[in-house]
């Protein structure tokens, strides 16, 4: 009798456990298969204070580059400055970085980055992608600028500082800091132009593409004098760390594929349209020429690039 009771209790426990297992299976089946965790790609975006209208375009473009079935989530991270963006990329808080090619070359020379995609410019935008030295007074030669006052935008601006400053280092008989009576950085092309107009400075470094759309210049171009025009400069890029991003090569390939799809959808594009294409031989050549210009032998190296 005692044995029968024990058997009955054991069977009851076993049946109870089986019932709990069946309930658990039914619960998880009803919940469905959990969604795979998507890898987050953090891309650094540096807002252009001289082209504020591009921010909406950037937001729309990157929203289209990430869809429901993708294995990644694209997270644009807007930084306050080039310094902040490059520091974030260097220390790993940003995975990708959209920036001008002169700053990319700085990262490349430290073996920190490689190009993922090149921004597409229209033929007109390419023609106007130059740095210029602009003045009100018609300096006949660079030698006539001795003792004058010059303004740049900021030290990470390719057209507003890096390229024109290197030109001056190459052409002047002494360092720009000694040649000019004052050398300032205004932060934007607009502020530089305003200081030139008001007579606070005699010479400024600006982007020709920006200048041709700036109404105060377009309405009276004859009042200004272009002392120097750089060669045509390469387009901006998106770069990724050389060591490879933590989210893996397959995720990068999917993101790049999405970039190409979006570029093909945009039949009409310009400098603000955020269309991208692969790096090709012509771009590699232009980038190499820029690298030689920026980092070749320079006689006046007192100042910093």
Using the predicted structure, report yes or no on whether residue 12 has a pLDDT greater than 80.
Answer: no
Distance CA 261, CA 239 (A): 18
106 CB-side CA count, 13 A: 16
For tokens 């079935």, what's the residue? 69
Q: Is pLDDT larger for residue 77 or for residue 160?
A: 160
Topology given in CATH for the domain delimited by 40-125+234-295? D-Maltodextrin-Binding Protein; domain 2 (3.40.190)
State the DSSP string of 224-267.
Answer: -EEEEEPPP-PPPEEEEETT--TT-HHHHHHHHHHHHHHHHH-S
- Please tell me the pTM assigned to this model: 0.81
Helix, strand and coil percent figures for the chain, each rounded to 5:
45, 20, 35
Distance CA 41, CA 74 (A): 5
Q: Kind of pairing, strands 72-78 and 113-119?
A: unpaired
What is the separation of C-alpha 72 from the centre of its chain, rounded to a whole number of angstroms?
A: 20
| pLDDT tens digits, 101-122 | 999 999 999 988 999 999 988 8
pLDDT at 244: 53
Q: What percent of the chain lies above the pLDDT cut of 70?
A: 77
| pLDDT tens digits, 247-302 | 667 777 788 887 777 777 665 555 556 788 889 999 999 999 999 999 986 555 44
| pLDDT tens digits, 226-235 | 999 999 999 9
Distance CA 298, CA 17 (A): 82
């Amino acid at each position: 009798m005692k044995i029968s009771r024990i058997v009955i209790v054991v069977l009851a426990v076993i049946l109870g456990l089986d019932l709990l297992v069946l309930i658990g299976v039914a619960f998880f089946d009803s919940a469905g298969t959990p969604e795979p965790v998507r890898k987050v790609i953090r891309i650094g975006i540096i807002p252009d204070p001289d082209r504020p209208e591009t921010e909406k375009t950037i937001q729309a473009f990157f929203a289209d580059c990430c869809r429901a079935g993708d294995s990644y989530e694209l997270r644009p991270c807007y930084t306050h400055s080039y310094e902040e963006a490059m520091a974030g990329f260097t220390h790993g808080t940003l995975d990708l970085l959209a920036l001008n090619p002169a700053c990319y070359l700085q990262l490349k020379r430290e073996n920190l980055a490689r190009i993922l995609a090149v921004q597409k410019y229209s033929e007109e935008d390419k023609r106007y992608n130059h740095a210029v030295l602009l003045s009100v007074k018609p300096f006949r030669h660079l030698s006539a600028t001795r003792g004058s006052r010059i303004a740049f935008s900021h030290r990470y601006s390719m057209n507003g500082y890096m390229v024109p400053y290197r030109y001056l280092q190459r052409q002047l008989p002494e360092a720009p800091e000694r040649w000019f009576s004052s050398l300032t950085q205004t932060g934007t092309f607009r502020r530089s132009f305003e200081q030139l107009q008001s007579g606070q400075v005699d010479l400024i470094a600006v982007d020709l593409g920006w200048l041709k759309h700036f109404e105060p210049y377009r309405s009276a171009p004859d009042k200004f004098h272009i002392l120097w025009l750089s060669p045509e400069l390469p387009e901006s890029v998106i770069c990724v760390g050389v060591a490879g991003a933590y989210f893996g090569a397959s995720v990068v390939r999917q993101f790049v594929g999405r970039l190409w799809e979006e570029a093909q959808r945009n039949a009409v594009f310009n400098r603000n349209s955020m269309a991208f294409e692969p790096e090709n031989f012509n771009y590699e050549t232009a980038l190499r020429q820029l690298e030689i210009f920026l980092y070749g032998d320079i006689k006046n190296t007192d100042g910093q690039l």
